[in-house]
Structure 1
Amino acid sequence: MNEGDKPLKVAILGCGVVGSQVVRLLQDQDADIAARVGRRVEVAGVAVRRLDAAREVEVAGDLLTTDAAGLVTRDDIDLVVEVIGGIEPARGLILAALENGASVVSANKALLAEDGATLFEAAEKAGVDLYYEAAVAGAIPILRPLRESLAGDRVTRVLGIVNGTTNFILDKMDTSGAGFTESLEEAQVLGYAEADPTADVEGFDAAAKAAILASLAFHTRVTAADVHREGIAEVTAADVASARDMGCVVKLLAICELRVDEDGEEAVAARVHPAMIPRSHPLASVRGAYNAVFVESDAAGQLMFYGPGAGGSPTASAVLGDLVTVARNRVAGSRGVGESAYTDRAVLPMGETRTRYHVAIDVDDRAGVLATVAQAFAEHGVSIQTVRQEGRDDDAQLVVVSHAARDAQLAATVETLRGLEIVRDVTSVMRVEGGEE
C-alpha cells in the first residue's frame, strides 16, 4: 500500500456522551470525511475506564482498551482525540501523544485554562497540531474565528453566555418567577444540570472558557486563576423581578475586554458573574440551555455566534471539525495556527474593572435616609443614576442603580452602607452591563 493510500489512525480517549458520538460520526461519515481529508480516517482504538460499561454507540470489542497511555504512544497513531476531561490523566496523555508525534484534538477547557501553555509548547516542539474548538460553546464555531478569521482585526471585547446549565436556570427564573433551587432541580430532572452542579452554578466552567476566549482574543496567556468568578447561587427571584422592572434580564456572563491600566497601557480584564442586561441586547434573547458569544472588534464591528453549547452530538460536531482540519494538515505535511501570545498584556484585578451596579438596600423608613445613602455613594466616587423606594415601614427598601464605577469603589460603598445605623442590610449587589454608562 502506498503511503498516500494508508488510512490515518485516530485514538480516542473517552467514550462517554461526547466520545461515543465522535465514534458514531466517524463511522457514519467515513466516506465523506475521507473525501474531505484526502485519506481515510480510521479509529485505531478507544480508551475507556471500564470495558463492560453501557455505551450509547456500539464499539467493536477489539478497539476498546483500558491502557490509554499505551494507545496514545503507539507508533501507528496519527491523531488523538481527548474527551475525558479533567486535569490528570488528560494532561499526561496529551503530552505523551504530542511527544510521540501525534496531533491532538481536545475538548478539555479545564486543562487548557489551567495549563494550556505547557500543551502549546509541547505541540510546537513536536511540530504537530493542538486544536480545541469543542472546549468552548459546544457546536458554536467561536475559537477558530478568533484565532484565524479575525487574525487581521483588533478584538476589543468578548461577551458571552457560555454555560447552558446556568442559562437554563436563569431563563426559568425569569419566565416563571421560580427561585434558584426550584429551577436548578428542574434542570437536573431534564438533564441540563449534573447531580453535583457546582462547576456550573459556581461559575468554574464559564471561568475556564473565559480564560480561553481572552487568551485567543487578546494574544495574551490568561488562566482560569486570572478570571474573576462569581456564580448564580445567590441570585434570587427578587433580583430577577427587579431586573424585569428595569427592562433587563439576568444572565451569567463571561466578559473579556481590553482596558487601560493606571500607566496608560492596554491590559486584559476577564470576569464571570451574573449581570443584568437590557432586553434589547442580543444576548438577552438567548433562551434555555443555548449559548451565544458577542464579539466586538475595530474593523468587523459587532459579531454574534449562537447555538447549542453542550451535548454529545453538538460537541462531537466541533471535535470532528477540528479532526478533519488536523488530518488535512497531516496529509499536506503542514501545521495549523499555533498559540499566539505575543502581546503579553497584564491582567487587571477585578477592583480596576468599571461597570454599573444595581444595589438593593433594606433601610429604616424615616426622613433623611435617602440623603444618607446618597452620601455613602458620593464618599467613594460612585455616581447614582437612578434610585427608587419600594415598600414602607419594616419592608422599606431602596434600589439604587449607579453610573459606571470601579469595582473597588463599589465594594467600599457597600462596606460603608452596611455600617450605617439606618441600613438593616444590603440584600443584593449585581452588575449592570450594556446600555448607557
Structure 2
Amino acid sequence: MSAPGKYRRPQFRVNEWFGEEKRRTDRLGRLNRELFEVSREANDPYELAAHLEALGFSNERVQAEFSLVSTFELARKLFQMSKRRPDLQRRSYLQLPRLGWRQLLILAAIVATLALARGVAEPQWLMTLFLISWSVVGSSQIMRAKASLNEAKQNSLFSLLMLLGLLGLGILGLLNGSAVQYAIALLWWGVTGCIWLEELFERRTYWVAGLALALLAMLAFPFLKVPLSIILGLEVLICSFLFLPRLRYLKGENFRFLTEDLPLLMTQLGYATGFGILFLKLIQMFSGHLWVYSGLLALFLFLAEWFALGLKNSLADAMWISTSVEDYLQNSLGSSKLLLRYIILFVFFSLLLAAMFFFPVQAASISHFVLFAIAMILVLMLFSLQNWFLPALAFVLAGLASLFAVPLIWIFVGLALVLVLILFIQLQHVEEYGFHISG
C-alpha cells in the first residue's frame, strides 16, 4: 500500500559498521547491516517499509523469515536498531515549524491591521470581499501548481495571481477607498504573496519578508507617531522589491490553468463570498472590542489548521499500519472518530456559550465569535477531506441569511450543526477520501 522506494544496494564493508549491532549474526542483524545506508537515512519506519516492499519483503515473507506480523513491523525493528542521522525528522503534510511560522506571520498581520484600522468606522465591503475571495482561490491554485507544474510555470502562475489581486484592489479602491484601506489591502496582498512563495519554494526568507511588512504596518500605532503616508510608501517599496521582478515570468497560458476546473473555482468563490459577508457582519456588530475578539478568532483559526493536520497525519498512520483495504478503512474510521469527538466537544461548548445569549451581553458577543470560529474549524476539516461543495453551499446560505436580518447567533448555531452533520457523514465513507489524503 506504499510507494516503491528508491533503494540502491550499497557498496558496504562489514568492518565499517559500528555499534553493538556489528556483532549480531542472526537474519535480522545481517539484513540491518545490508540496509545500513537506507536505514540510516530513513526519516521514519514508514519510509523504510516502502524500501522493504520494493525489495520483495511481503508480509508472508516477513512472517516466514523473521516471525514478525508484517513488513511494517520489520521496518520498525530495523529502524530501532539503526544509527541514524540526528537531523532527519519524519516528513508530514506540513512540517510543524512551518505551520508555526505561518501562524506567527498571520498573527502579526492581524495586529498590524488593527493598528492601521483604528478610528475607521467600518471596512470597505467590496475591497474586503475581493481580498478574501482572491486569497482563497489563489491558495487553492498555488497548491495545485505545487503538485503539477514545474518551477518556471509555478513562478508564472504566482505572478498572474499577484497581478490579478493588485489590479482588483486598485480598481475597487478607486471606487471608494481611502489611504488606510489601501494600506490594509496592500499589507494583506503582500503577506499572502509571501505565504504563497514559501509554500512553493520552501524558503524561510519569505516568512521574514512578510514579518517585516507586518512590523512596518505596526508603525501606525498612535504612540509611534509615524505618518500614514510614510507607512504606505514603505509598503509599496517592499512589495515592489518582492514581487515586481517576478512579473518577467508572466505568461498568458496560465489563464487556462486557472479555469481548468470551473465548478471548483465557482464553489471556492461562493464559499469566500459567504465567509466574507459573515466576517464583515461580525466586525460591524462588535467593532468596539475588536482587539479581544480578533485574538479569539485567530486562536481558533490556528486551532483549525492543527486539527486538519492532525486528521491528515492520523489517516496516513492508518494507511501504514494496515495490511488490507478493509483493515485500512477500520483504522481510518477509528482515528477520524477520535478527532470527531474533539470537534463535537467544541461545538457543545460553543452551544453552551450561545445559550448565555439570553443573559449578559458580553457572553453573547463571545459566543458569536466562538461559533464562527467553530464553523471555520469544521469547514477546514471538510476541505482537507476534499469536500468543497456542501460546506461552501452552507456558507453561501448563511451569508445570504445574514443579509436578510436573521440574527447572527442563530445563523452560527445552524451553520455549526450543519457542518458537524456533513463531517460526520463524510467520515463514514473513508474510501472516498482516505487514499487521497494519505498520499
Higher-Rg structure is: 2
Instruction: Give the structure with the higher percent strand.
Output: 1
Same fold (TM over 0.5): no
Instruction: Give the structure with the higher percent helix.
Output: 2
Q: TM-score scaled to structure 1, two decimals?
A: 0.25
Q: TM-score scaled to structure 2, two decimals?
A: 0.25
